[in-house]
Amino acid sequence: MMHTSRPHRLRRAVTFMAGLLMAATAVSACSGSSAGTTDSSPAASGNAAVELNGLLPRLTAEKKYQIGYTLPQFRDPFWVSVAYGIEDEAKKAGLEVVSSNEAGSYADLGKQLSQVDDMTQRGLDAILVAPVDRVGIAPALDNAQRAGIKVIGAGNLASTGAMSAGVTFSHIEAGHRMADAIGKHLNGKGKVVMLNGPNGADWAILRDRGFKEELAANYPGIEIVEQAWLNPDRAAGQTTMEDWLQKRGDSIDAVFSAVSLTAEGAVLALRNAGRAGKVFVATSSLSSAAKDMIAAGEIQFCYAEPGQLVGRLAVQYAIRAIEGKEMAGAKAAEGDEKYPEKVLYVELPPITPETVGKFDPMILDWAPKGFSPA
Over 80: is that where the pLDDT of 15 sits? no
Over 80: is that where the pLDDT of 3 sits? no
Average pLDDT over residues 259-270: 97
Q: How far apart are CA 323 and CA 325, in angstroms?
A: 6
At 65, give phi and psi (nearest 5°): -65, 150
Give the model's pLDDT for residue 200. 79
At 135, give phi and psi (nearest 5°): -90, -45
Distant-in-sequence, close-in-space partners of 356: CB < 8 Å, separation ≥ 6: 36, 291, 294, 295
Average pLDDT over residues 345-366: 95
Q: How far apart are CA 140 and CA 159, in angstroms?
A: 12
Over 70: is that where the pLDDT of 31 sits? no
Give 23's pLDDT tier (boundaries 50, 70, 90): very low
Over 50: is that where the pLDDT of 236 sits? yes
Give the model's pLDDT for residue 45. 59
Average pLDDT over residues 212-225: 98
Cβ contact 253:223 at 8 Å: no
Residue 47: strand, helix, or coil: coil
- Chain-centroid distance of CA 367 in Å reads 14
User: In b/e form, how buried is each residue of 125-154, taking b as 16+ CB within 10 angstroms?
Assistant: bbbbbbbbbbebbbebbbbbbeeebbbbbb
Instruction: Kindly write down the DSSP assignment for every residue of 356-374, as one continuous string.
Output: GGG--HHHHTPPPTT----
Least confident of 13-22, 58-67, 75-84: 13-22
pLDDT single digits (tens) 123-147: 999 999 999 999 999 999 999 999 9
Over 70: is that where the pLDDT of 34 sits? no
Nearest alpha-carbon partner for 148 in 65, 35, 251: 65
Cβ contact 278:254 at 8 Å: no
Over 80: is that where the pLDDT of 154 sits? yes
Question: Residues of the chain with pLDDT > 70: what percent?
Answer: 88
Average pLDDT over residues 323-334: 96
Average pLDDT over residues 214-234: 97
Give 46's pLDDT tier (boundaries 50, 70, 90): confident
Question: Residues of the chain with pLDDT > 90: what percent?
Answer: 85
What the chain holds in terms of domains, given with CATH numbers, is 11-169+305-364 (3.40.50.2300), 171-303 (3.40.50.2300)
Over 60: is that where the pLDDT of 30 sits? no
Give the model's pLDDT for residue 148. 98
Give 13's pLDDT tier (boundaries 50, 70, 90): very low
